[in-house]
Amino acid sequence: MGSSIVQVSHLDKYFGRLHVLKDISLEVPERQVVCLIGRSGSGKSTLLRCLNFLEEPSHGSIEVDGIKVAGGEKGREHRQLVHDIRLKTGMVFQEFNLFPHMTVLDNVIEAPVIVKGMDRKAAMDLAEQNLDSVGMLFKKDEYPMRLSGGQKQRVAIARALTMEPRVMLFDEPTSALDPELIGEVLNVMKKVALEGMTMLVVTHEMGFAREVADRVIVMAEGELIEDATPEDLFKAPKDPRTKALIDRYRSGEQ
Amino acid sequence: MPLPFYLFLAEGLNPMNLFASKESGTPKTQAELLFEAAQRKERTFRFNVALTWGILLLLLVYLFSGPIKVDADFIKENMLFIAGGVGETIRISILSIILATILALLAALGRLSTFPPIYALSTFYVSLIRGTPLYLQIMFFFLALPQLNIRLPGLWAGVIALGLNYGAYMSEIFRAGLASVGKGQREAAAALGMTPSQTMRRVILPQALRFAIPPTGNEFIAMTKDSALVSATGFVHELMWRAVKVGRAQFHNLEALIMAAIFYWVMTIILSYVQNTIEARLAKGDR
């Protein structure tokens, strides 16, 4: 697939002697929304974090938008490639990780100004545009402490988008939220997806996976055990572990 | 004084309670009543504490106005001379805390280094300074260095000794400050493409320094008192040195030391108040 924007080949990750990702290969075409599901400990978050080298892969390689980085290497050249790949990817964390000593607006313009050297005024315009699109412009001068979890996460999404990444990575973006706040974040994510962003989302939100994803990948014990459209996956799961996951979601729904 | 009477006195005299009991209007809910009872208890406690402080102070004043003879003339004559040391004490404390803060920060950053010589330099410095007495360190700069033909001006020798000493102890504060910034902050910065040094300057340090401000205030207060040790060298004419000088000369050490004690105490109370205000403001701040 020549048009893939993300290519993972033969990725292995060890934590000490623990083999958490086992020879994973994966291609994601541009504009695709991929949900990664699986029980905790299945390796789905680790896989996501390997994509922008928050975890250094042990073997294998990652390619994002033409930048190919081999895992398990060191040195100046490697660091530069990791830096380049991080500029291609935006990440949203479970715990938001906004900078508590900066206002909402400063959180969003920080990296464009400091990392990309963008003109402050231009960064502010872009930031305000993105804050507006996640519905958080009215809080631009507040500090994160004064925001709800859902609001923080929406700011975090705007912050990642303002770096103008090619791919957005979401690591359980709604898992730390009170149930009534999950909807507002999922709606923003849906909006980002509809605008054509390539997205990889680690989530437990089956409803979101079913409604928004183009493709759902199921992980278990460090392997990709199923890879299908949401329709096929929810209708006819092939692997018994996928079936168990979906059954549990269905029983929780009622 | 029998305690029940004391408590009764406090309840009855406490103007805040008198004032509070006059409030009336709509009937109060049980929660409000419970809250008020708790408030009353708290106020009574604080009042009793203040009352006891007053009694203890009066007792001290009484002691020195009768049973313990002090020479009022001596106090009057030397008041200005001793008070003149306050400025010098504050000056040496401020200069030393600045030096100490810089050293503490460097030592704390050194402890984060993965480069062995830097890490070793930091731990070596902290170990050496914490393993020897402050008094010895001060004497070293005043008495031992001249033997090597290094003669520092009195004030600077004191500042360097105090700064080096406090820097070693304060490095723990900054280390805790740096550790207080969660891993998520580094990851967020890294994911945004910030380099380690950008992350340190823009994300970690501002949060760590904020964490370190209140304990640094405490160290400053402690430093104003430890600066008295510098007087032993005879080269810095701060509070303690002046008290000892006039006290010895006229054999009125009692009066002289009491005066110095009062100056130190008042300074400490004022600095603690400033420190509490800063701490309270930071606590309800933007974090």
Instruction: Summarize pLDDT for A139-149 with one digit per residue, the tens.
Output: 999 999 999 99
Residues of B in contact with A93 (CB under 8 A): 184, 187-188, 191
> Crossing angle for the helix pair B72-112 and B154-180, nearest 10 degrees?
50
Give the mean model confidence (pLDDT) for residues B138-145. Answer: 87
> Crossing angle for the helix pair B154-180 and B205-226, nearest 10 degrees?
140
Nearest chain B residue to A164, by CA: B192
ipTM of the complex: 0.93
Cα–Cα dist B67/B127, whole Å: 49
- pLDDT the model gives residue B287: 46
Point out which residues pair with A223 in neighbouring strands: A220
Point out which residues pair with A15 in neighbouring strands: A18
The answer to whether the Cβ–Cβ distance between B192 and A115 falls below 8 Å is: yes
* pTM, rounded to two decimals: 0.80
Inter-residue contact B274 to B124 (CB < 8 Å): no
Question: pLDDT of B172-215, one tens digit each?
Answer: 999 999 999 999 999 999 999 999 999 999 999 999 988 898 89
Q: What distance in Å separates residue B214's CA from the closest CA in chain A?
A: 17
Compute the mean pLDDT over every residue in chain B, rounded to the nearest whole number.
Answer: 87
> Crossing angle for the helix pair A149-161 and A104-114, nearest 10 degrees?
20
Q: What distance in Å separates residue A117's CA from the closest CA in chain B?
A: 11
Q: Measuring CA to CA, how many Å separate B26 from each of A228, B4, B20?
A: 67, 33, 15
The answer to whether the Cβ–Cβ distance between B188 and A83 falls below 8 Å is: no
The single-letter code of the amino acid at B38 is: A
More confident residue, B23 or B204: B204
The answer to whether the Cβ–Cβ distance between A54 and B187 falls below 8 Å is: yes
Least confident span in A35-49, A216-230, B66-80: B66-80
pLDDT over 50 at A67, yes or no:
yes
| For testing contact with chain A, the best of B192, B195, B200 (most A CBs within 10 A) | B192
Bridge pairing between strands A223-228 and A215-220: antiparallel
pLDDT over 50 at A1, yes or no:
no
The partner residue sitting opposite A111, judged by closest CB among B185, B192, B207, is: B192
Starting at the edge strand that comes first in sequence, how are the strands of the sheet with A33-37 ordered? A89-92, A167-171, A198-202, A33-37, A215-220, A223-228
The partner residue sitting opposite B188, judged by closest CB among A97, A114, A115, is: A97
Cα–Cα dist A37/A204, whole Å: 6
Question: pLDDT of A118-168, one tens digit each?
Answer: 999 999 999 999 999 999 999 999 999 999 999 999 999 999 999 999 999
Give me the sign of the Cα torsion angle B168, B174, B180, B186.
negative
Short-list A53, A91, A109, CA closest to A200 = A91
Question: pLDDT of A171-195, one tens digit each?
Answer: 999 999 999 999 999 999 999 999 9
Residues 165-204 of A with CB under 8 A from B: none
Q: Measuring CA to CA, how many Å separate B75 from each of B69, B78, B86, B152, B251?
A: 12, 5, 16, 34, 12
The partner residue sitting opposite B185, judged by closest CB among A54, A99, A116, is: A99
Hey, is the C-beta of A133 within 8 angstroms of any chain B C-beta? no
Encode B179-229 in three state secondary structure: HHCCHHHHHHHHHCCCCHHHHHHHHHHHHHHHHHHHHHHHHHHHHHHHHHH
